[in-house]
Amino acid sequence: MAGCGQALVPRLHKNNYSDVDGPGTCKRCGAGKHSSSLSAMSADTCLPCEAGKASSTLGATSESTCVPCQVNTFSDSLSAELCTPCTEGTFSLEGSSTCSAATCPAGQEPTSSTECSPCQSNTFSSSNSTDLCSPCPTGKFSGYGAVECLLDKPLSIIVSGMCLSIYDGVYQAKYETASRRWYYENDNGMFIYFDPTCDGSGGNPNLWIVDNSEPSTTAVNDLDGDSTCTFAGYITSTSMTPPTGTNTWKILCDGSWTDVPITITESDTTETPDTILESILIVSFLTILISLPFIVPRVYVMCLRFARRNQFSKGKLIIDGRMTIYRNLSPSGKGIQHTESV
């Protein structure tokens, strides 16, 4: 009688069968199949791996040897020994039986013929798709690799106390980084961001950094990509936003690291202190003009300008400067300029 394990043949392991009588006639199930049967008499006991999986194992005794095809590979038939790579211009998810044009999982978008990348901040992809990530609706925001737009954009921060004034001012939240923390930029092109490891090797962990280099939104460490910890200032903190209040930062002042008390406050304003001051000056000036009697024959317009390297900062009221008085003496508009030290 046929069958491995019968009297005529030695009893063999699972995944063997014999469809004829006689010793030495036991056969293994081929690759892409498995069987847990003993004394099997037919190849029908060798069960196939399903589509989307493959197995190169001979003598497999369990379905667990059928491994799902990796991303961008597929098997479209039963009993596959190997998964087949997708052709150029098509993609597949793990365990796929087919490839389709640029199908990426939720939260990602196609970036080449064989790769998907996470959606950038303020974009999203809610399902497996062949399309690029979509922008968030007005008033909503998202982080890196988002499947929906839910995050509220952080408030602006106002920074003061830096030894270089270009690092002070209002910083707007710009994008979220891979650590799920937003980075900020001021009007001078300076940035504040969190870096888990600033040199990428594990040294100096968990720093909030101020510098003139814009950080990466995809890098996990060394966000400025220079493989060193080079920046204008830092503070150690794991907070999700730059630490508010007055805290001691290490700031590079005059070529040496200095402990500097830096104050950071949150604000919903988008204006810098100079912009706010300009608005106050304009309103005050217009109020004075409107209040003047119309019969005044002469109008004296006084402007305060700051003199620094022979350059004047228009619209900024700074006491330590020069005062220029323009007198409009005639209807023709011709005038005399007189400058005095203040």
Number of domains into which the chain is organized: 2
pLDDT per residue as tens digits for the range 115-148: 788 888 789 999 888 788 999 888 788 877 888 8
Q: Residue 213 is part of which domain span?
A: 156-267
Cβ atoms of 34 and 60 within 8 Å: the answer is: yes
DSSP string, 329-342: -STT--EEEEEEE-
Question: 292 and 194 in one domain?
Answer: no
pLDDT of residue 202: 78
Q: Of 219, 241, 267, which marks where a domain is finished?
A: 267
Cβ atoms of 296 and 284 within 8 Å: the answer is: no
Residue 277 falls within a domain, yes or no?
yes
Question: 257 and 195 in one domain?
Answer: yes
pLDDT per residue as tens digits for the range 9-25: 444 455 455 455 555 55
Return the higher-pLDDT residue of 160 and 138.
Answer: 160
Question: 296 and 207 in one domain?
Answer: no
Q: What is the mean pLDDT of residues 235-262?
A: 94
Write down the pTM of the prediction. 0.45
pLDDT per residue as tens digits for the range 313-338: 333 333 333 333 333 333 333 333 33
d(CA 264, CA 160): 7
Cβ atoms of 119 and 133 within 8 Å: the answer is: yes
In one letter, which amino acid is 204?
N
What's the burial of 128, exposed, middle or buried (CB within 10 Å: 0-12/13-18/19+)? Answer: middle
Residue 23 falls within a domain, yes or no?
no
Cβ atoms of 43 and 4 within 8 Å: the answer is: no
Residue 149 falls within a domain, yes or no?
no
